[in-house]
Amino acid sequence: MIGVGPALRKARERRGITLDAASRDTKIHIDQLQALESESFGALLGDVYVRGALRTYAQYLGLSPEKVIGAYAEHAEEPAPPPPPAKLGRVERAIAATRIRDNQRLMVLLAGVVLAFAIVFGFLSRGHSAPEPATLPTVPAEPVPIDREIDAVVEAVSAVDIVVVADGMESTYVMGAGETRSFTAQAELSLRASDGGALRVTVNGVDLGIVGSPGEPWTDTYSFGATEGATPSSGA
């Protein structure tokens, strides 16, 4: 298990979504969703289909498609393990033992030659002072970039339509009362709701509460500030 399947299953169960509902919403057959969650990728229609299905399912569940496909790609590109070596017969073992002894003798001989060169070089270099080591200029180290993300969790108090734009990628959802979804963006995350009084929003662990007035549309955008984490940049 590489972790992709369990992550998809946990995300679906955490949101209370059945496989039937997920199949209906994503247009992916239930057997294929089960194959994704159990990481039975060989049962699907090749690598291109697996990547497309992973992207659709991850985005539907509010996960990062790039992270899910990246984890799958690392597994798919791993080379197959080499076959175990065959057992050696008596003749092969004797030949291998002879080669080991010859290699050991060669290593001893080379070590003696190196030692002799070291002794001769020591006598010749004695009396000659070594030059002072050069002083290398110090270069300040560049700051290590921090992998930051904007994580938002939205909860529908009552039925509401929402539009999510994560790093320029727009998605639309119809949420029922009590339904919860989570979204992730690297740089900017925008949320729009048909009824601001029907939506509770939490951004990077900060509970913003009910974000709008009942019956009125609401929109807000969250991005990284100069010195802080994700902060709302505009709202209505």
Residue ranges of domains in the chain:
4-76, 150-235
Distance of alpha carbon 66 from alpha carbon 102, whole angstroms:
54
Task: Flag whether the pTM goes above 0.75.
Answer: no
Interior angle at CA 80, CA 78 and CA 86, nearest 5: 150
Where does residue 161 rank: exposed (0-12), middle (13-18), buried (19+ CB within 10 A)? Answer: middle
pLDDT at residue 134, as a whole number: 55
Structure tokens at 69: 């496909």
Residues 6+ apart with CB under 8 A from 35: 41, 43, 44
Quick one: pLDDT at residue 220?
A: 92
232 near 182, Cβ under 8 Å? no
Q: Which of 208, 207, 166, 206 is nearest to 189 (CA)?
A: 166
Contacts of 232 (CB under 8 A, 6+ apart): 203, 220, 221, 222
Count how many residues are written for the chain.
236
Domain 150-235 of CATH type 2.60.60: yes
155: Cα separation from own chain's centroid: 26
- The pLDDT score that the predictor gives to residue 232 is 61
Q: What pLDDT, on a 0 to 100 scale, did the predictor assign at position 3?
A: 86
pLDDT for 214 equals 93
Helical residues (DSSP H) of the chain, grouped into ranges = 4-14, 19-26, 30-37, 46-60, 65-76, 90-125
Residue 106: beta bridge partners? none
Of 98, 88, 47, give the one whose Cα is nearest residue 69: 47
What pLDDT was estimated at residue 182? 87
CATH number belonging to domain 4-76: 1.10.260.40
Contact 30, 23 (CB under 8 A): yes
Per-residue pLDDT at 80 = 43
- Which pLDDT belongs to residue 2? 78
Q: Which residues of the chain have pLDDT under 50?
A: 78-81, 123-124, 139-141, 143-146, 226-228, 234
Q: Are 33 and 19 in contact, with CB atoms under 8 Å apart?
A: yes
In whole angstroms, what is the distance from residue 234 CA to residue 236 CA? 7
CA distance 204 to 150: 6
